[in-house]
């Protein structure tokens, strides 16, 4: 401590260097721990799995059809229970101004399957998932705080969701998260009986609980076998589909798992660079003390005492760096959750520093500090017994190029430069990939384009005609505003990940064995292409006369045109999409 006080500049530089390295590690680890390591807020979460259907042609997972879910539930032997859900956006009225909220409809057994209990009220009863029962819903903790000011008398209150009256029956705890997405409220999903015979539309998110003693690999094998049976039984709809079973945590993390580990390794390398830098600083400081150390050794000082002195100095510096790192981490954990929230499927990331910097994170910080202190403290400590004895004669002035100390410092500098270059090259490659993604041509232009999400109450707009009439009025009003060049509407925004798909056939063309034509489709208004500045290569755009009751028409992209009619004009050709005939 005396040596550190005598050299405040050296001490400050070392502590700041270590604080940056330790703080970055602590902040990243706090997120990694919350996302990948912390126990999920469910009973026996290791037995909970997500079940998807997998399109074998596109190698892309999808939601589950109602018919397949029904067969899975009755024919599997690996799941103790299964539940389904479906996202449903709501407009909530009756509490202040209208609010757009994220809702989920699901089978009434989902809460019990997850082992989740409300902090107020109750969850759903089995009969509440049947037609004719009172409409009820359960609030998330966040929405309860936001709209109802944490009112403990909220149970029994009524609000309107999409124009229908619903009653609050419960409030979930703050750490509860719906598997795979952020949710504001939950309602029972009333699935018409005939839906469970349908295998064309992939609508359901499915969660299951493994039977006691059943491993994930066993469940995957049985569900693949069951998918093969369904493909033989229903070849028109199931021949290109298999099933995937994964731990429920995968619903939350997605591709974020790899990114978080890469970040953690990167900041650990930064800490190694910081330790090498501090070790070099300690070696430089030790060079000025060589004569003092040599005299102490000559007078009989124990090498172990000198060793512990240098090591203690390193640990003290690391401890001060850890304190500074924690202060930086407290700032970092307020920023990082906002950076990753869009990629997290509903997992409740703590945003309060006191919640993020918990016991495991503090243990990690302490371990990093001790390891760092030992790493750079050992370098001068190990050099101390090897100091040349001619230092007593005062013959040494600094380091000779041929001394072990000089070679060690050179090696540390080489390691610092090598690790820095590795991180720099890796960062450069990531930046280049990001720029390429930004410059990727998607066929439309987004500059000076504004988008908003519009949710219409089903009781007021029950069919496509009523919806279209309302949209015409809205778009006409928007196009009359100053500065608006054009306005259009689309059922699902491009690149949103919510693509609707339907199988189709082409009259006169036979599909290759084992293959099926699948289309991604969207409904648009006539001026949508103009608003997005999407160029038309051939034919015409939609017009007001293209309404229901007239010939169905469709606009296809160039890729599909080249695949279906490589040497022909696609305009005027016909495709059949789920009992509808569309002319391109």
**Is position 20 within any domain?**
yes
Mark whether 264 and 225 lie in a shared domain: no
pLDDT of residue 282: 76
pLDDT of residue 580: 45
Q: Could you tell me which of 210, 204, 199 has the C-alpha nearest to residue 179?
A: 204
Distance between CA atoms of residues 534 and 498, nearest Å: 20
Mark whether 320 and 369 lie in a shared domain: yes
pLDDT of residue 395: 44
Mark whether 398 and 523 lie in a shared domain: no
CA dihedral 418, 420, 422, 423 (to 10 degrees): 170
Q: Could you tell me which of 35, 62, 21, 22 has the C-alpha nearest to residue 259?
A: 35
**Is position 33 within any domain?**
yes
Regarding beta strands 48-55 and 241-247, do their DSSP bridges make them parallel or antiparallel, or are they unpaired?
A: antiparallel
Predicted TM-score of the model (pTM): 0.71
Mark whether 98 and 236 lie in a shared domain: yes
**Is position 116 within any domain?**
yes
Distance between CA atoms of residues 367 and 373, nearest Å: 10
pLDDT of residue 398: 47
Mean pLDDT per 10-residue segment, the chain (584 residues): 70 86 87 81 91 86 91 94 89 86 90 93 88 89 92 93 91 84 88 77 91 95 95 87 90 74 86 81 69 66 71 84 86 68 53 65 86 76 54 48 60 75 75 70 82 78 82 90 91 74 78 66 87 90 77 87 88 76 46
Beta strands in 427-499 (DSSP E): none
Distance between CA atoms of residues 348 and 175, nearest Å: 6
**Is position 191 within any domain?**
yes
pLDDT of residue 581: 44
Distance between CA atoms of residues 169 and 150, nearest Å: 14
Q: Please check whether residue 442 is in contact with residue 494, taking contact to mean a CB–CB distance below 8 angstroms.
A: yes
Which of 208, 229, 247 marks a domain boundary?
247
pLDDT of residue 140: 93
Which residues span the domain enclosing 13? 2-39+257-423
Contacts of 103 (CB under 8 A, 6+ apart): 87, 88, 89, 90, 137, 161, 183, 184, 185, 186, 187
Q: Please check whether residue 373 is in contact with residue 315, taking contact to mean a CB–CB distance below 8 angstroms.
A: yes
Mark whether 476 and 579 lie in a shared domain: yes
Mark whether 483 and 372 lie in a shared domain: no
Mark whether 360 and 411 lie in a shared domain: yes
Q: Which residue has the tokens 């001068």?
A: 380
pLDDT of residue 435: 73
pLDDT of residue 352: 55
Distance between CA atoms of residues 531 and 185, nearest Å: 34
Contacts of 500 (CB under 8 A, 6+ apart): 491, 492, 520, 521, 522
**Is position 146 within any domain?**
yes
Q: Please check whether residue 187 is in contact with residue 166, taking contact to mean a CB–CB distance below 8 angstroms.
A: yes
**Is position 357 within any domain?**
yes
Number of H helices, E strands in the chain: 17, 16
**Is position 446 within any domain?**
no
Distance between CA atoms of residues 398 and 318, nearest Å: 27
Contacts of 61 (CB under 8 A, 6+ apart): 52, 53, 54, 55, 244
Distance between CA atoms of residues 471 and 260, nearest Å: 43
What's the structural domain count of the chain?
Answer: 3
Mark whether 198 and 269 lie in a shared domain: no
The distance of Cα 148 from the centroid of its chain, to the nearest Å, equals 29
Q: 3-class DSSP state for residue 539?
A: coil
pLDDT of residue 559: 87
**Is position 453 within any domain?**
no
Mark whether 272 and 366 lie in a shared domain: yes
Distance between CA atoms of residues 251 and 40, nearest Å: 12
């Amino acid at each position: 401590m005396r040596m550190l006080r005598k050299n405040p500049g050296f001490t400050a530089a070392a502590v700041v260097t270590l604080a940056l390295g330790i703080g970055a590690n602590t902040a990243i680890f706090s997120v990694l721990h919350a996302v990948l390591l912390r126990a999920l807020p469910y009973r026996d979460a290791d037995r909970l799995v997500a079940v998807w259907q997998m399109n074998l042609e596109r190698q892309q997972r999808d939601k589950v059809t109602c018919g397949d879910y029904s067969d899975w539930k009755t024919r599997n032997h690996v799941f103790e229970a299964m539940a389904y859900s479906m996202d449903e956006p709501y407009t909530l009225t009756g509490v202040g101004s209208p609010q757009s909220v994220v809702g989920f409809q699901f089978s009434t057994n989902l809460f019990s399957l997850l082992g989740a209990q409300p902090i107020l009220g109750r969850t759903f009863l089995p009969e509440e998932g049947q037609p004719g029962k009172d409409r009820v819903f359960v609030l998330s903790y966040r929405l309860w705080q936001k709209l109802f000011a944490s009112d403990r008398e909220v149970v029994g209150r009524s609000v309107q969701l999409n124009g229908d009256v619903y009653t609050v029956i419960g409030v979930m705890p703050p750490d509860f998260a719906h598997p795979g997405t952020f949710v504001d409220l939950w309602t029972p999903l009333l699935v018409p009986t005939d839906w469970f015979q349908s295998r064309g539309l992939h609508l359901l998110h499915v969660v299951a609980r493994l039977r006691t003693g059943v491993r994930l690999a066993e469940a995957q094998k049985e569900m693949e076998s069951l998918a093969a049976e369904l493909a033989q039984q229903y070849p028109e709809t199931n021949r290109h589909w298999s099933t995937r079973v994964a731990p429920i945590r995968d619903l939350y993390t997605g591709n974020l798992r790899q990114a978080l580990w890469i970040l953690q390794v990167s900041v650990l390398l930064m800490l190694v660079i910081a330790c090498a830098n501090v070790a070099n600083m300690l070696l430089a400081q030790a060079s000025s003390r060589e004569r003092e150390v040599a005299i102490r050794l000559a007078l009989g000082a124990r090498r172990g005492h000198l060793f512990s002195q240098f090591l203690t100095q390193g640990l003290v510096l690391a401890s001060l760096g850890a304190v500074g790192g924690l202060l930086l981490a407290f700032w970092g954990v307020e920023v990082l959750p906002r950076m990753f929230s869009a990629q997290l499927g509903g997992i409740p990331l703590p945003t309060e520093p006191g919640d993020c910097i918990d016991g495991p994170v503090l243990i990690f910080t302490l371990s990093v500090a001790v390891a760092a202190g030992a790493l750079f403290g050992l370098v001068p400590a190990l050099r101390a017994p090897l100091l040349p004895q001619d230092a007593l004669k005062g013959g040494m002035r600094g380091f000779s190029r041929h001394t072990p100390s000089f070679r060690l410092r050179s090696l540390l500098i080489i390691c610092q430069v090598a690790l820095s270059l590795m991180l720099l090259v890796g960062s450069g490659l990531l930046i280049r990939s990001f720029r390429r993604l930004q410059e990727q041509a998607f066929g439309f232009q987004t500059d000076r384009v504004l988008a908003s999400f519009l949710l219409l109450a089903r009781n007021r707009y029950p069919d496509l005609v009523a919806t279209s009439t309302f949209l015409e009025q809205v778009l006409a009003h928007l196009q009359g505003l100053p500065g608006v060049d054009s306005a259009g509407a689309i059922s699902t925004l491009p690149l949103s990940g919510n693509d609707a798909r339907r199988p189709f056939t082409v009259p006169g063309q036979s599909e290759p064995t084992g293959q099926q034509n699948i289309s991604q489709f969207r409904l648009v208004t006539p001026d949508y292409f103009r608003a997005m500045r999407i160029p038309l290569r051939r034919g015409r755009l939609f017009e007001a006369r293209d309404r229901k009751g007239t010939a169905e028409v469709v606009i296809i992209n160039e890729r599909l045109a080249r695949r279906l009619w490589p040497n022909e004009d696609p305009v005027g050709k016909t495709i059949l999409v789920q009992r509808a005939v569309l002319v391109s």
